[in-house]
Amino acid sequence: MSAGARAEPVSADPPAPRVVLGVGGGIAAYKACELLRLFTESGHDVRVVPTAAALRFVGEATWAALSGHPVASDVWTDAERVPHVAIGRSAELIVVAPATADLLAKAANGIADDLLTNTLLTARCPIVLAPAMHTEMWEHPATVANVATLRDRGVLVIEPAVGRLTGADTGKGRLPEPEEIFFVARRALLAARATAGRGAAGGDAAGRGAEDPLAGARVVVTAGGTREPIDPVRFIGNHSSGKQGYAFARTAVARGATVTLIAANVTLPDPAGVRLVRVGTTEEMRQATLAAAEEADVVVMAAAPADFRPAEYVTTKIKKEEAGDAHVLRLVRNPDIASELGERKRPGQVLVVFAAETGDAVANAKAKLARKRADLIVVNEVGPEKVFGQETNAVLVLGADGSVVEIDEAPKEDIADAVWDLVARRLRPPP
């Protein structure tokens, strides 16, 4: 190299996100192995910290082999490295799955009697807890109070799923599926990194950065397409897959909202942490949505309710031989759920409606926005190979205040997050 020449800087790959996976002592501990695989295969550096009870369900060697890191549950192993402080300080995200009632109680009350609870106390990063326990334990006033305390401190506690529990029991308390926990945790990590990139102040004592305005909000989201029966085997429906509505629900959970998802004829996996209400017809969706909206801070009408239904339902299958070459089907108009929500909207409540248009999109959407008394309307163009069933979307968002925001094509989860940002400004306007 000649005198005065400067060496080119050596480029390096960005460091892998540092994740701590805590594992509580519940039967669902085996599902954490799949969660660990999802993290490691997507490029995360994962340190597993199980409780002593968790190691009775899944052994230390399994966690070490899957993570590539040594595993300990006590504060005495490698004491010279001060692991009970170092692990929490270095983590960018902590996920605990399953989080037992015992772990929730210790975390809420600052008890630190093993490596995992010490790590939770020293962490200053996002913390996601995925509870799993019997229904009676989840509904016990002590657990309810502990969860409320943790959420008040900024910890993201995912609502458990409803389903088969240990033994023959069924109810609320089942660990959500690993893929859905992974989605929530990864969105929390991305949000924290984005906040850090904008130069926000460090996290608070609860282990999270600047509070998301959506945290704690009560949210109702509708998804899918309703079906209006003609006879026992036929119906009127549409092509809505429910993917955009589910994206709204999943991202709202990741931002700390309490979410009720009203789904019509959707076959997608249940999102983690939502209260799921399944409906079939527009009238069923109407009743469920109006009831849920009474206590909601935000209602997002992402579903595609059928505008019309058959005037008469035929109780036996219509035979083509009897119908002849032309069968006349008389239709009547369905109730307009969004308009009813607009009429009933409380002060401070935010209503988001959707407009799937094939022409004159902006003009039609403006009229619809005013007619339904909504705060925001999300406009997208529909047609062959557009929107329905796709993984991406591109929308225009019009506000009742005259604002216009164009969101370029992106994954539907990113579209949902961008709309949530607009909702948050109206839910809690900046000072």
pLDDT in tens for each of the 431 residues of the chain?
444 444 444 445 678 899 999 999 999 999 999 999 999 999 999 999 999 999 999 999 999 999 999 998 877 676 666 566 888 889 999 999 999 999 999 999 999 999 999 999 999 999 999 999 999 999 999 999 999 999 999 999 999 999 888 777 888 999 999 999 999 999 999 888 777 665 544 444 343 434 788 999 999 999 999 999 999 999 999 989 999 999 999 999 999 999 999 999 999 999 999 999 999 999 999 999 999 999 999 999 999 999 999 999 999 998 887 777 778 889 999 999 999 999 999 999 999 999 987 767 788 899 999 999 999 999 987 655 555 668 888 999 999 999 999 999 999 999 999 999 999 999 865 55
Per-residue pLDDT, 141: 97
Per-residue pLDDT, 13: 64
CATH 3.40.50.10300 domain range(s) in the chain: 218-317+329-427
Q: Report the phi/psi class of residue 173: left, alpha or beta, with left for phi > 0 and alpha for psi in -120 to 50.
A: left
Per-residue pLDDT, 194: 77
Q: Could you say which architecture CATH assigns to the domain 218-317+329-427?
A: 3-Layer(aba) Sandwich (3.40)
Question: Dihedral angle at the C-alpha atoms of 158, 51, 90, 128, nearest 10 degrees?
Answer: 0
d(CA 278, CA 30): 29
Contact (CB, 8 A) for 414 and 266: no
CB atoms near residue 151 (< 10 Å): 18
- Of 212, 109, 191, which Cα lies nearest the Cα of 414? 191
Q: How far is CA 186 from CA 19, 71, 87, 128, in A?
A: 10, 23, 19, 10
Residues 176, 179, 182, 188, CA torsion sign: negative
CATH 3.40.50.1950 domain range(s) in the chain: 18-197
User: Residue 38, exposed/middle/buried by CB under 10 A (0-12, 13-18, 19+)?
Assistant: middle
Class of domain 18-197: alpha beta
Per-residue pLDDT, 318: 86
Catalytic residue among 146, 238, 265, 380: 238
Per-residue pLDDT, 94: 97
Contact (CB, 8 A) for 297 and 348: yes
Known catalytic residue at 238:
yes
Residues in the chain: 431
